[in-house]
Amino acid sequence: MNRPIRSGNPRRAIVLGASMAGLAAARVLASHFDEVLLIERDELTDSATPRKGVPQGRQLHGLLLRGAQAFEALFPGIIQSLRDKGAIEVDFSADLRWHHFGVDKIRFPSGVCVLMMSRPFFEQEVRRRIVEIPNIRVLSQHDVTGLVASADRHRITGVTVHRRDVGSEPEVLTADLVADASGRGSLTPKWLAALGLSGPQESKVRVDVVYATRIYKQPDPEHLPSYKSLYVIGKPPQGKRLGIIAPIEGGRWVTLTAGMLGDHPPADPEGYLEYAKGLPLDDMYRLLRHAEPESDVALYKFPSYQRRHYERLSELPDGLVILGDAHCSFNPIYGQGMTTAVLGAQALGTCLSDHLARTDGSLLGVSRKYQELLAELVDVPWMMATGEDFRYPEVEAERPLGYPILAWMMGRLHYAVAHDRVLAKQFLLAMHMMQPPTSLFAPRFLWRILAGGIAS
C-alpha cells in the first residue's frame, strides 16, 4: 500500500483502541496520513499474553479465509510468519470433524484452509508489524475521555486524553480524522451526546451466550484423533450447546464449551467436562478426560448482538469513523468478528482513496460515505449469523420476511453437505465470506439442495 503524494499541511489520524480492528485501521490510515496515533488504555507488551482490555482474549478466536487474505494484503508475509512461529493450518473440511444438525459434514480436501492460533499470539504478530511502520506512533496506557469538535459541531477535530501516570494532566490531541475501534464498550454515543449531538440507533438480538475456554496440552500422537479439530453444535431449537477443540501454537489445544439462552457451561474443571459430556457427540469429553490441562477455565459472557447505526444519523460529524465491535459485534460462535473488522479497515482505505482522489485532499463527506459503506458490508455477516440464531424461538427479534422458507432451505443444506462435496465446498466458501451466501441458491446448487445432496 503506497502513500499518496499530497501537498499542504501534514495530516494526522487518531485510532482509538489497539484491537484487531484498530491495528488494521492504523495500517490502512498510515497510507493516507503523515502521522497516525494509535491510542490504547492497556499497557502493550512484546509478549503474547491476554490483555485486560480484551476480556474475550483468552477465548477461542477464528479467522475466516477472507480475513486471512485481508491481513496478508495489509501485512505481506504475515501468514507465513505465523505459520513458521507455530500457528496450525487446518483444512476446514479434511482436517475438521464438524457435527451439525445431527450429521457430520463430509470430509475431503477442500482447499479452504485457515490458521488456528491463540488471539494473543496473532495480536502480538500484528502489533510487531505496526510498530515498524515509521509514521505510526503508539500511545499505550492513555485513556480517551472525549471528542473535540469545531465550534459549529460539524467536524470532529481531535480527542482529549489522560495518561495513566500519577499527576498527569489531560491534554487535547488534534486530528483530521478520528477512528473509533475501541470495542463494544465504545463511548462515542456518550461523547456525541456531550457535544449536543444525537447518538445512533441500536439493533440488538439477545442470545445470552456464555463461553468457557480451557487450554490443554495435546496428547501424544498415538492418542490423537484422525482429525485436527472438532466442532460439535446442538441441533436447534432444543440443542443449545457447542463444543470445539482447536490446535494452537505450542503443541496445545484450545478447547471451548458454550451455551445459549440459559444452558451455560460452568467454570469449575469437573463441571466443564460434564457439560461437554452433554454435547451431541462425546468426542470432546473422551479426548479431554485424560488430557493434561494448562490453564483454568475462563468464562466470557456475550449477552447480545449489538449494531450501532451511525449511517442513519442526520448529524454525523465529519472527521469521525467507527468500525469493528464499536460499530457492530456478532455472536462469536460464528467466528466473523476479526474478519469483519479487517474488511471494515480495508473498506476505510478504499473510501479514503476514492474520496481524496476526487476532492484533492478534502475529507468533507468521508465519514458518512464510510459509515454507509460499512453498513452494507456488515449486512451479510449479520444476516448469516442472526439467521442461525433465529431458529431458537426464545431469541426475541423480528424475523425478516420469508425467514421460514430460508430456514427450511438452510436446514436442507446442512443435511446435504453431509455427503455432497460440491455443496460442501460452496457452503465453506460462503461461510468464509469468499462468496456471497446467495451463491448457494444459484440454480446449479439449488437443485442439489432440494434433492437432498448428491453422494460423492
The pLDDT tens digits for 238-247 are 999 999 999 9
CB 369 within 8 A of CB 298: no
pLDDT computed for residue 44 by the predictor: 79
Q: Which residue is it, cell 467536524?
A: 155
- For the record, the C-alpha cell of 429 comes out as 466458501
Q: Dihedral angle at the C-alpha atoms of 36, 37, 38, 42, nearest 10 degrees?
A: 170
Q: What is the pLDDT at residue 174?
A: 97
Exposure letters 35-70 (e unless 16+ CB within 10 A, then b): bbbbbbbeebeeebebbebbbbbbbbbbbbbbbbbb
| pLDDT in the model for residue 10 | 56
Is residue 409 predicted with pLDDT exceeding 80? Answer: yes
Give pLDDT tens digits for 327-379.
Answer: 999 988 888 899 999 999 999 999 999 998 888 778 999 999 999 999 999 99
Q: pLDDT value at position 226? A: 94
Residue-wise burial string across 3-30, b where 16 or more C-beta atoms lie within 10 A, e elsewhere = eeeeeeeebbbbbbbbbbbbbbbbbbbb
The predicted pLDDT at position 221 comes to 87
Domains, the chain, in order of start with CATH, read: 12-73+122-203+313-387 (3.50.50.60), 88-109+204-303 (3.30.9.90), 401-450 (no CATH)
**CA–CA dist 213, 215 (Å, integer):** 7
pLDDT (tens digit per residue) in 176-222: 999 999 999 999 999 999 999 999 999 999 999 999 999 999 998 88
Task: With both helix axes pointing from N to C terminus, report the angle between 403-416 and 443-450 in degrees, rounded to the nearest 10.
Answer: 80
